[in-house]
Structures are given as structure tokens and as C-alpha cells.
Chain A
Amino acid sequence: MADMVSTLNRPAVADREWIARAQDRCSTSRFLLWLTPWTLLLAAGLYAAYLCLRYGLHQTNMDNRFVFGLWIFLDLAIIALGAGAFFTGFLLYILRWKELKAVIATAVIVGFVCYSGAVLVLMVDVGQPVRAWFTFWHPNTHSMLTEVTFCISAYLVVLSIEYLPILLKNRKLRKVPSFLVFEFEMHKLMPVLAGVGAFLSFFHQGSLGGLFGVLRGQPFAFREGFGIWPTTFFLFILSAMAVGPVFVMLVTRLVEAVTSKRLVRPQVYQVLARTSGLLLTFYVLLKTIDTLVWLNSTSRQAGYRPWEYYAWEPFGTWILFAEIVLLGLLPALILLSPKWRARPGWMLAGALLACAGVVLNRFVLTIQTLALPTLPFEQFLTYMPNWQETATFLGVIAYGVIVYSLSYRYLSLFPQEKELAREGKEASHVS
């Protein structure tokens, strides 16, 4: 009878031995049901990637003119959003913002998923994965992409090493003495990895921006700068640092919503939002100055009338307004204001707008730059990703969801979860 009551009231969790004791997780069957659509999406993505690798890039809608499509645009976007890993690590381990311990595991996993996903898509995009080592042995030393390739590869190694201690804290794995001690020792050395991660991220985020800023043949993107670095180098770093913390917050809030649990104290969200608000304000200020200099000087010196770029629909001046004001200044003000930030709805809206702003910025620099005609005889180019491109990228999204879901279920990502669950229970008793 007792067993029957138990079965009736508590769903069967066949993998309970792998889940930390205090973590209340759904039944195994429900978890598998959740994973099923994502696994199907991943399978579709793998099939599309196979087609591209097997038959070549003519399986996509990219061509010799439109060389950067959906993949590069979204790669740049997720690399910017994944910056929360390095920046949160820097704030926690180097600047000792201890309250961020509550989200560091999520930040690392989000970073790992974003970077490994971006590298996977790049491998399909570049093709010939067997010759991937060529980029290290025969790099073009005059290309910003060389620096990007070297730094992203090294940073992915760093992220993998940072992910390892989180993985080894699994309830079963920590019972193995060598895993337990390795995790403990790695944890003590984490400030070194956080410092290296910040260094690498600073340069590859910057070089991804610099990549467009040095395009003299694309005056829409070309920018002056300091030394070998165009202004886009610094704007990319700053924008990635600005949205990294709020993206970590958005992911955590999404997990809270999906699982109906409180995982992180509101004060932590306040720290993340305030940090993003400050950096975003600084970014919007510099972006505005950069745009004004480009409109009034850089572009005109190159012999172009900049407003003509905005005559090509659908990329009208609205896109500039959206990028700087609607998805830049507005979220910066929301996230900076203690009054608005205190309201969860406003804070979330600010975070969403900020992330959308950076995604739009990456879209403008990849897609809009390539679409606009530069020479008098050129036409405005249009491009629409086909199913192979879309499926490959959705496959990467599915990969990310699966990795995060497994991590959430089997690893202890949120140190405050236990206490918040207890407080929630006590509060329900009082009420």
C-alpha cells in the first residue's frame, strides 16, 4: 500500500541516483518527452549539415557575392550573447563579485553551448572539416579572421575545461575520488582560466567586429580606428560585454518559467541587469559617436553619400533608429533605472530589447553590408536562407537546448535552488 501511495504521489524518476538529492526534477518519462522534439530537430540539422558537407555549399542559398548568410550572422549573434561566460567569470573570479556565484555555472554552459555551436556551424560553412588544421598551419596573417580562429579555438578549450568541474560535481561522478579531487583543484585554479578567457574573448569579440570595419571595399561597414583596429573592434567587445550578463539572466528566467521554480535570488538579477545597463549606456554613446563620424566624415571621404544606403528597402533609416534608440538607448535606460529594474516585467523587457539590439547590429554588419551595392553597376542583392541553412542552425539550437537540459537535470547549476525551495515551502505554510 505504501509503495502504491508513493507511486501515485511522486512521479517515477528512474535516474534519481544521478540527480542531486535536493533537486526536485520531473519524471524520467516527462524529461524524455521534452527531449524528443529537440532530438528530432537535431537529427534534421545533422542531415542538412551532411548534405552541405557531402555536396558542397551550393546546397545553400549563399554564392560568391553573398558569402555571409544566416550562419555567419547567427554565429556572430550567439558569440556575442555567449559573452556572459567570460564576463561573468571575470566579474566573479577576478573582481570578486561573489553574488554572481549563483549564475556562474549557467553562464559557463551558455558560453560553451554558444561557442561550440558556432564552431560546429563554421565547420559546415567552411567545409572540408578534415582540413581544419590548415587554418592553424597556413593562416592568412593579414586577416582578422586568423586572430578570431585562434582565439575562438583556444577559448572553446578554456570553456570545456571550465565546464569539466561543473560536470564532475554530478552526484554519481563526485563519488569517484579522482573526479572529486580534480574538480576541487580545478575550482581553485578557476581565476587563471577566467583571466585567460577574458583575454581571449576581448580579442576575438573585437576581431569579429574589426573584420567588417576594415572592409574598404564595403564603405557601409568601413570605419576609421586606432592603429590597426577600426572602431567596430571596440564596439563589438563592448556590446558583447553589455548583453552577456542579461542573456545569462534571460536563460535563467526562461528555465525558471519552464520548470516553475525559483533558482536565483532577485538581487542577482539586479546585479546582472545593472551591469548590462551601465555597459549598454556606454556602448550606445560610443555607437552614436561612431555613427555620426561615419555619416559626416568616413563615408563622405570615401566618396559616398551615406543616406543613400538607407534608400534600399527594406533597410531604411528605421533600422538605424531601431539599433541605436529602440534596442539600444531604451533598454539601457530601463536597465539603469532602479525603479524600472525593480519591476520584473520591465527588467525582462529591457534584457530582451538589449539582446535584440546586438543581434540586429550583427545582422546589419553581415547581411545589410553584403546586400548593399557598392559600385555603380552593382545591384542590390537579396538573399533568403534555404531549408538546409535553417535546419543546420536549428539543429545547433536543439543541441544547445539538449546540452542545457541535461546539465540542468543532472548537475547542480544553481546553488541557491535548495534554499529558495525551502523558503518557498515555508512561505506557503505561512500563507
Chain B
Amino acid sequence: MFPNVDGFHWTFGHILFLSIFFAVLLTVGFTAATALARMMRNLRPKKVAEIRWHTEFEDLPASDRQCRHALTGAAPGRVCENGFECRHCADYPKFSGTAPEPQGRLYHRGHTWVERQPDGTFLVGLDELGEKLIGAGAQVELPAPGTRLASHDVAWRMGKPGNTVRLLAPVEGEVVETGSREKGWYLRVKPESPWPDLRHLLGGAAAAVWLDREMERVQALLAPAGMQPTLADGGVLVDDLPKAQPEADWHAIHGAMFLEP
């Protein structure tokens, strides 16, 4: 068929068919090459963190992606399509109005929190529910001081052999000191700007409602199929849930609560 093949003569049919065929092949090749080129361009830690969070957020069920304004009742049923990034949400001002930004401890939906310190640094920790979900005696892998964190990226890892979870960074900045469970915080972070925009975190009434709902979620996840949740009357969770309920599927529960697919 091709040149240098005995008996080959170009015809209009050959040219048309081969042109279409190779155009298709070129399109496929070009598409794959474009993806590779973009991959090479985006292999920067900050961009990788952004993409990781984007894909993980996309995998979350709608019920886990409730908008903060749905939690406060300002926009009932609204589902976040923005990776919980209120900083980039066009509708944020519409729902929050001129209300002042909440102060004090601010929560990431992955159960980490951040608290501004007088020296301009931020303490980052794991909330009480998060600690109970992981349980006592967990191994903690903290990043070394000097490590740069991006919002929603992996801040540190903790857990037990065979089931380690990654905790998400609530704020971007440089790790300047590491803490421990005993200290009540795990990282001290120096943000890139003295007053970072923390609108993507929950505080005040929204945080209170969210924490209540998270408690309900834990109860539902822990209740064996066919059994009623047992803490709906206001009971208090034990300190080490995996130890108290070893038969539960902790891989799935940790995945659901710490937003890890």
C-alpha cells in the first residue's frame, strides 16, 4: 500500500482514507502528549497539593460537601462545588453579607483546626472528635520544621499500623515548630502573609453546627447495620473509639471523617 511496496499507486481513496486515519492517530497522540506536557508543568508541590485536593473533593459524596451557608441555614441544601474554598466562591458575599469573620479556633472539614497566636504564627491541631476517632497510642509522622504547607494538602499523618490517615492542612505557610498530642497541637505554622484569608475555615455558629453534624455522622457510621444509633440522647463519646469498637470498619470511618478516599 505504501511507497516502496510493489504495485502501489496513490489514488484519491488512499489519500482520503490515510489522511483521516493519521489525523485520528495524531489527535490521540497529541492528546496524550498534551496531558504529559501539562503533567510535567504542574509537578510542583503547591500545584500537586491543589490537584490532590480537587480530585479528592470531587470524590466526596454530596452529603459530605455541604456549603457552610447550608450549615447555618442561610442556603438550605446548598452543596459546595468549590473545594470548600470560600475564598474563591463568587456567592460567598451574597450569603455572609457584612458579618465579621469569626475569631478564635477555626476548623477545616477534615477535623484539623487553626488558632492565631499573638506572635503572628498559627497553631494547628486535631479537634477532639478527630483525636477520639484515631484513638490513643497512635504513631504520628510530623513534617520537619521548614516544610511548606499548602491549604488542604497533607499536613501530617497519624494512626496505627495498617491504617494511617493523613490530616489536611487548614492553612498555608511554613512549619516552624512541631508539637504533640500532649501539647494539644501538632504544628506551629508561619503563614505567608501576616493576616491570611481564612474564609475557607469554619468558625462560630457554622463550626458549632458542623461539629454537631459530625457527631451524628460518627454515630451513624459506628452503628452496626440494623441497629439504632445509641448516643442520640446526648451521651459522650469515649476517648478511644477504635479500642471501644474494634469491629467497626475503621478504614471506611476514617476515610469518611478525614475526607480521605
* CB within 8 Å for A147 and B255 given contacts A20-B261, A181-B51: no
A65 at the interface (CB under 8 A from B): no
Q: Enumerate the 7 nearest inter-chain pairs by beta-carbon distance, A residue then B residue, closest first.
A: A21-B255, A419-B61, A9-B247, A6-B246, A185-B38, A185-B35, A2-B246
Name the interface residues of B162-178: CB closer than 8 Å to any CB of A: 162-163
In the bound assembly, the distance between CA atoms of A8 and B246 in angstroms comes to: 10
Inter-chain contacts of A182 with B (CB < 8 A): 35-36, 39
Decide if B25 touches A10 in the complex (CB within 8 Å): no
Give me 19 other A-B pairs in contact (C-beta within 8 A), A21-B260, A154-B21, A192-B27 excluded.
A9-B246, A21-B256, A21-B261, A22-B255, A137-B2, A137-B5, A138-B1, A141-B1, A158-B28, A171-B261, A177-B43, A180-B51, A180-B52, A181-B48, A186-B35, A189-B34, A418-B61, A418-B256, A425-B223
Which of B5, B28, B59, B63 touches A157 (beta carbons < 8 Å)? B28
User: 1/0 per residue A1-45: CB within 8 Å of B?
Assistant: 011011011100000110111111000000000000000000000
- What is the total number of residues of chain A having a CB less than 8 Å from a CB of chain B? 55
B54 at the interface (CB under 8 A from A): yes
Which of B43, B225, B252 touches A181 (beta carbons < 8 Å)? B43
Decide if A174 touches B55 in the complex (CB within 8 Å): yes
Which of A's residues lie within 8 Å of B, judged by CB?
2-3, 5-6, 8-10, 16-17, 19-24, 137-139, 141, 147, 150, 154, 157-158, 161, 169, 171, 174, 177-178, 180-186, 189, 192-193, 196, 199-200, 412, 415-416, 418-419, 422, 424-426, 428-429, 431
* CB within 8 Å for A422 and B1 given contacts A17-B162, A177-B43, A189-B34: no
B249 at the interface (CB under 8 A from A): yes
Inter-chain contacts of B34 with A (CB < 8 A): 185, 189
Which of B1, B43, B59 touches A137 (beta carbons < 8 Å)? B1
Inter-chain contacts of A10 with B (CB < 8 A): 247, 249
B243 at the interface (CB under 8 A from A): yes
- Count chain A CB atoms within 10 A of each CB in B48, B62, B252 and give the residue with the most: B252
Decide if A428 touches B225 in the complex (CB within 8 Å): yes
Shortest CB distance A147–B (Å): 7
Which of B105-113, B114-122, B189-197, B226-234 is near enough to bind chain A?
A: B226-234
24 A-B contacts, Cβ less than 8 Å apart? Answer: A6-B247, A10-B247, A16-B251, A17-B162, A20-B255, A20-B261, A21-B254, A21-B256, A22-B252, A23-B252, A138-B5, A154-B28, A157-B28, A169-B55, A174-B261, A177-B48, A181-B51, A185-B42, A193-B28, A418-B61, A418-B256, A422-B61, A428-B226, A429-B227
Shortest CB distance B210–A (Å): 18
In the bound assembly, the distance between CA atoms of A9 and B63 in angstroms comes to: 28
Inter-chain contacts of B1 with A (CB < 8 A): 137-139, 141
In the bound assembly, the distance between CA atoms of A418 and B249 in angstroms comes to: 13
In the bound assembly, the distance between CA atoms of A65 and B214 in angstroms comes to: 71
The size bracket of the interface on B is 35 or more
Shortest CB distance A180–B (Å): 6
Shortest CB distance A170–B (Å): 10
Which of A5, A23, A177, A186 touches B246 (beta carbons < 8 Å)? A5
Shortest CB distance B30–A (Å): 9
Shortest CB distance B250–A (Å): 9
Name the interface residues of B48-99: CB closer than 8 Å to any CB of A: 48, 51-52, 54-55, 59, 61-63
Shortest CB distance A16–B (Å): 6
In the bound assembly, the distance between CA atoms of A181 and B55 in angstroms comes to: 10
In the bound assembly, the distance between CA atoms of A330 and B37 in angstroms comes to: 51
Name the interface residues of B188-240: CB closer than 8 Å to any CB of A: 220-221, 223, 225-229
Inter-chain contacts of A189 with B (CB < 8 A): 31, 34-35
Inter-chain contacts of A416 with B (CB < 8 A): 61
Which residue of chain A lies nearest to B48 when distances are taken between CB atoms in the complex?
A177
- Majority secondary structure, A binding face: helix
Decide if B229 touches A429 in the complex (CB within 8 Å): yes
In the bound assembly, the distance between CA atoms of A9 and B245 in angstroms comes to: 11
- Count chain A CB atoms within 10 A of each CB in B13, B24, B52, B243 and give the residue with the most: B24
- Majority secondary structure, B binding face: helix
B181 at the interface (CB under 8 A from A): no
Inter-chain contacts of B226 with A (CB < 8 A): 428-429, 431
Chain A-chain B contacts (Cβ-Cβ < 8 Å), number: 129
Shortest CB distance A252–B (Å): 18
Inter-chain contacts of B229 with A (CB < 8 A): 429
Decide if A199 touches B24 in the complex (CB within 8 Å): yes
Shortest CB distance B141–A (Å): 14
Decide if A422 touches B17 in the complex (CB within 8 Å): no
In the bound assembly, the distance between CA atoms of A136 and B223 in angstroms comes to: 61
Name the interface residues of B1-31: CB closer than 8 Å to any CB of A: 1-2, 5, 13-14, 17, 21, 24-25, 27-28, 31
Shortest CB distance B255–A (Å): 3
Which of A2, A19, A157, A174 touches B243 (beta carbons < 8 Å)? A2
B138 at the interface (CB under 8 A from A): no
Inter-chain contacts of B42 with A (CB < 8 A): 181, 185
Which residue of chain A lies nearest to B11 when distances are taken between CB atoms in the complex?
A141
Shortest CB distance B140–A (Å): 19
Decide if B246 touches A180 in the complex (CB within 8 Å): no
B32 at the interface (CB under 8 A from A): yes
In the bound assembly, the distance between CA atoms of A396 and B199 in angstroms comes to: 55
Decide if B220 touches A429 in the complex (CB within 8 Å): yes
Shortest CB distance B47–A (Å): 8
Decide if A184 touches B51 in the complex (CB within 8 Å): yes
* CB within 8 Å for A412 and B28 given contacts A9-B247, A182-B35: no
Which of B55, B221, B227 touches A184 (beta carbons < 8 Å)? B55
Decide if A24 touches B252 in the complex (CB within 8 Å): yes
Decide if B62 touches A419 in the complex (CB within 8 Å): yes
Shortest CB distance B241–A (Å): 12
Inter-chain contacts of B36 with A (CB < 8 A): 182
- Count chain B CB atoms within 10 A of each CB in A137, A154, A418, A431 and give the residue with the most: A418
